[in-house]
């Protein structure tokens, strides 16, 4: 079996010793010389038994599983020797591996409702003795940025701190409830009501935002995530997003759209959408009428999505492959009804799509692509933005950057169109050429 590598080219500690991430280890860490670099691992805790939102960690936020936002940040930060997800759930494991993380299968003992983060991390370092510095990243912090992790780790490696944790500055007056002889009254905790300070005259308070906690192995072994020589790392409020309850979700979507990390490349303005007819615009069925005519069904919401895109000067082209042939007469009707060019019978989608892109003096980064099966994989991988309906094949889903909540023929195209327009707005606000 080929050995896996992170994007920085390094192998995880368990594979250096020829053990898989799921194999237990009882070996003792080897002593390091002063010049030998300490192994730094990011560990994202993702238990499957969330009570507030079932499987919250892999619920999709803007088409990306929640946990994937922080996996992407950890990998792209380029400062970790390994990036791990600690979980007890098969579906979370599958998502973690898809987005580039290694998986530590935690035991039942540290997967209970009462289990603490510290206990879970202690089990991890026991199984992975080569790890020297742990960064516990919270799976529910989708606005975390690579720079936050880079700067915080620098405090550990270059300034000798044993623990670094993220905080946000709050300017909120706190009050407490006081019970006295059966009566309840209220008293101030951090202000004098007779001298209420103006915001600009008060430095505020530092509050943990939970985004990440760096700690040395030795500190964790002493039952501490924070301690020794420690320091806080202050994050701006706009990046301090924590999703705890379902009501936070629509708010988080808007915040992530503006402040989330979408990858190393800045978002581009989409100028062309390529959409599979069969399996994306339609559910893949062809009905044959009594007089022998082929018929397909599409959702009027998807037609509205095309109209929205064209209004914003995004061209739409419908495509079909030789494996899913569409009669020319039917294609002409679709073209007339939807106002889109239809390209029929593609044999090599990647090559023929590349030719369509070149004819328009565009590049793959300018293109959005929605497909549904293995013939679409290369195009899904190369397009600047790509999507699949909810019921697409597994290989296509892995290749796509966005997985729709809706199935083919049931509004998936409209959903993707809205996503394109949101990201176009973000790209334009960041000064991209259009």
| Same domain as 350, residue 315 | yes
Catalytic-role residue among 3, 196, 285, 360: 196
| Same domain as 77, residue 122 | yes
The yes-or-no answer on residue 196 being catalytic is yes
Q: What CATH number is attached to the domain comprising 345?
A: 3.40.50.1000
Q: What CATH number is attached to the domain comprising 91?
A: 3.90.550.10
| Same domain as 148, residue 238 | yes
Among residues 258, 280, 304, the one where a domain terminates is: 258
Supply the pTM of this predicted model.
0.69
| Same domain as 328, residue 210 | no
Total of domains in the chain: 2
Specify whether the CB–CB gap between 27 and 365 falls below 8 A: no
Q: Is residue 1 included in any domain, yes or no?
A: no
| Same domain as 204, residue 346 | no
Q: Is residue 178 included in any domain, yes or no?
A: no
| Same domain as 243, residue 94 | yes
Q: Is residue 294 included in any domain, yes or no?
A: yes
| Same domain as 412, residue 299 | yes
Contacts of 92 (CB under 8 A, 6+ apart): 46, 48, 55, 57, 58, 67, 85
| Same domain as 326, residue 232 | no
Question: Range of 148's domain?
Answer: 13-173+200-258
**265 backbone dihedrals φ, ψ, rounded to 5°:** -85, 140
Residue 266 carries which DSSP code?
P
Q: Is residue 132 included in any domain, yes or no?
A: yes
pLDDT at site 130: 95
Length of the chain counted residue by residue: 434
| Same domain as 277, residue 242 | no
What is 189-222 written as a DSSP string? Answer: SS--GGGPPPGGG---EEEEEEEEEEEEHHHHHT
| Same domain as 287, residue 254 | no
CA distance 337 to 299: 12
Q: Is residue 190 included in any domain, yes or no?
A: no
| Same domain as 376, residue 332 | yes
Q: For each of the chain's 434 residues, which pLDDT tens digit applies?
A: 333 344 444 444 444 333 333 333 333 333 444 446 789 999 999 998 766 677 889 988 877 899 999 999 999 999 999 999 999 999 999 999 989 999 999 999 998 888 899 999 999 999 999 999 999 999 999 999 999 999 999 999 999 999 999 999 999 999 999 888 778 889 999 989 999 998 888 889 999 999 999 999 999 999 999 999 999 999 999 999 888 765 577 788 888 878 888 887 666 799 999 999 888 988 877 676 666 666 677 788 989 999 999 999 999 999 988 776 676 777 788 888 888 888 887 888 999 999 999 999 999 999 999 999 999 999 999 999 999 999 899 889 888 888 888 899 999 999 999 989 988 887 777 654 43
Q: Is residue 195 included in any domain, yes or no?
A: no
pLDDT at site 112: 87
Q: Closest Cα partner for 138 from 240, 274, 232, 227?
A: 240
| Same domain as 94, residue 56 | yes
Q: Is residue 347 included in any domain, yes or no?
A: yes
Q: Is residue 246 included in any domain, yes or no?
A: yes
């Amino acid at each position: 079996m080929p050995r896996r590598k992170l994007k920085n080219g390094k192998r995880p500690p368990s594979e250096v010793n020829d053990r898989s991430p799921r194999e237990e280890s009882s070996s003792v860490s080897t002593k390091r010389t002063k010049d030998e670099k300490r192994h730094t691992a990011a560990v994202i805790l993702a238990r499957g038994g969330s009570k507030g939102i079932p499987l919250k960690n892999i619920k999709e936020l803007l088409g990306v599983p929640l946990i994937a936002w922080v996996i992407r940040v950890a990998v792209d930060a380029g400062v970790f020797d390994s990036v791990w997800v600690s979980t007890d759930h098969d579906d979370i494991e599958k998502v973690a591996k898809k987005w580039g993380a290694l998986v530590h299968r935690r035991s039942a003992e540290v997967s209970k409702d009462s289990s603490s983060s510290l206990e879970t991390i202690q089990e991890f370092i026991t199984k992975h003795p080569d790890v020297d510095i742990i960064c516990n990243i919270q799976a529910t912090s989708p606005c975390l940025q690579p720079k936050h992790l880079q700067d915080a780790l620098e405090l550990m490696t270059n300034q000798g701190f044993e623990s670094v944790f993220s905080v946000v500055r709050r300017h909120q007056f706190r009050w407490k409830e006081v019970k006295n002889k059966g009566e309840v009254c209220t008293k101030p905790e951090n202000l004098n009501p007779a001298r209420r300070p103006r915001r600009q005259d008060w430095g505020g308070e530092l509050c943990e935002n939970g985004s990440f906690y760096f700690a040395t192995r030795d500190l964790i072994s002493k039952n501490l995530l924070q301690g020794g020589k420690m320091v806080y790392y202050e994050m701006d409020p706009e990046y301090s997003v924590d999703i705890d309850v379902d009501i936070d979700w629509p708010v988080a979507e808007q915040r992530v759209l503006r402040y989330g990390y979408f990858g190393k490349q800045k978002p581009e303005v989409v100028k062309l959408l390529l959409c599979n007819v069969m399996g994306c615009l339609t559910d893949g069925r062809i009905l044959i009428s009594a007089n022998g005519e082929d018929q397909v069904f599409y959702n009027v919401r998807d037609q509205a999505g095309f109209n929205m895109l064209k209004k914003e000067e995004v061209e739409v082209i419908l495509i079909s492959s030789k494996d899913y042939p569409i009669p020319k007469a039917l294609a002409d009707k679709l073209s007339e009804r939807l106002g889109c060019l239809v390209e029929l019978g593609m044999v090599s989608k990647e090559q023929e799509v590349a030719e369509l892109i070149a004819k328009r003096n565009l590049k793959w980064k300018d293109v959005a692509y929605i497909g549904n099966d293995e013939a679409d994989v290369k195009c899904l991988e190369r397009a600047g933005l790509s999507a699949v309906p909810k019921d697409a094949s597994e290989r296509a889903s892995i290749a796509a950057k966005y997985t729709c909540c809706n199935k083919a023929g049931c509004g998936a195209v409209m959903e993707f169109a809205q996503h394109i327009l949101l990201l176009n707005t973000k790209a334009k606000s960041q000064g991209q050429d259009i």
